[in-house]
Structure 1
Amino acid sequence: MARSISAAQLGIQLKPDDDASLFKWFIASFLMGKRIQAPIAAQAYKVIVEEEGRNTPRKLQHCTSRELVAMLGRAHYVRYDETTAQRLLDLSARLNADYGGKITRIRQASEDRQAFEQRLAEFDGVGPKTIEIFMRDAAQVLF
């Protein structure tokens, strides 16, 4: 990924204890963490979160894989679209089940940044690149 897209460039204003903005940035980071061009990932974020209003873990969890694949397709995010859709659904379901849908609860359950990043890595499809992108902007409001 040659050029990094920040949370602010996507219109996400990260603030301490603001789960809404942290979730949006987590989804954007997840999409950008894949082998796909950043502008396409950013467009996929905009389609899913802004246009379709899937801006909370609960709203995201309650759409179908087929609906998500269609949203990704509208953004031309067609590489890995089936797995990405399923992982987004799994991610939101796990975030809801394990942390009440809140990134700040992951932070509260973690003794330090390393433990927090380890918990993020436990989500299917969240690897080092996604964590790096997410923490680049989120670390200042989480730690």
Structure 2
Amino acid sequence: MAERSTELVRGLLNGYGTTFAEEAGIRLADKPGPLYQLLVLTTLLSARISAGVAVAAARALFAAGYRTPQAMARASWQQRVDALGRGHYRRYDERTARMLGDEAQLCLERWRGDLRRMRAEADGEVRPMRSMLIEFSGIGPTGADIFLREVQGVWPEFRPYLDRKVTAGAAKVGLPAAPDALARSVRAAEVPRLASALVRVALDRTAHPDELRRAARSRR
């Protein structure tokens, strides 16, 4: 049973273990730029739109130069709309363009452009961190989960952060749903990848445990 679980976890990491930040081209680190870019990506992923479109829109915004809150705040609403459109993020483009501007202003005014100040204020506690994230206009409870799932790789005091979407994926493939048990199945540095993999599996109707195990064996 333990061997089957190990194969399943390896299959998950091999087949689905790219984080959304990695997919968006964010080199996540405990630095102001990458942390702000993760906030932007989180905002895009929070809308009722496919993850693929959200990632493409994030890439388009970053390609336009909007990688910092200063640059995002300087951009006009129309420039943000146009960048979102190039990423095919059209259904919510006008509303999201406004929210991105508001979020950039809040980041600059409250955190002086550096989300590490928010980290320091939370002092390792999840509840205040979630509360501060939800103050950003485009981020609700789901968005707070997304941000914390991704940022736990560089903010280890929040690890393991494995929310209900993650545990739903675990239950789907027959892994234990308890966050601590899931976290013990991988190295600490791999927890964000496992979280992303399980979220992707939860959304993928074709994912099956036997296929994941076969994928793990084929890469040995």
Q: TM-score, normalised by structure 1?
A: 0.90
Q: Which runs of 5+ in 2 are unaligned?
A: 1-15, 158-220
Q: Is 2:65 aligned against 1:42?
A: no
For the 8 Å contact 2:46–2:138, the answer to whether it is kept is no
Q: Is 2:95 aligned against 1:80?
A: no
Q: Which residue of 95, 103, 127 corresponds with 1:91?
A: 103
Alignment map for 1:99-114 (pairs within 5 Å): 99-111=111-123, 112-114=125-127
CA distance in 1, matches of 2:35, 2:92: 24
CA distance in 1, matches of 2:80, 2:25: 22
Which residue identity is paired with 2:90? V
Specify the structure having the higher radius of gyration (Cα). Answer: 2
CA drift at 1:139: 2.1
Structure 1 vs Structure 2 CA RMSD: 1.6
Q: Is 2:56 aligned against 1:52?
A: no
1:100-141, CA deviations, whole angstroms, 9 ceiling, x for partnerless residues? 011111111223121011001011121112111111110232
Q: Which residue of 133, 137, 141 corresponds with 1:128?
A: 141
Which residue identity is paired with 1:96? L
CA distance in 1, matches of 2:92, 2:65: 22
CA distance in 2, matches of 1:84, 1:5: 22
Which residue identity is paired with 2:84? L
How many corresponding residue pairs? 139
Which residue identity is paired with 1:93? Q
CA drift at 1:9: 2.4
Percent sequence identity is 30
Report the equivalent of 2:23: 9
Q: TM-score, normalised by structure 2?
A: 0.60
Q: Which runs of 5+ in 1 are unaligned?
A: none
SS in 1 for 2:122: coil
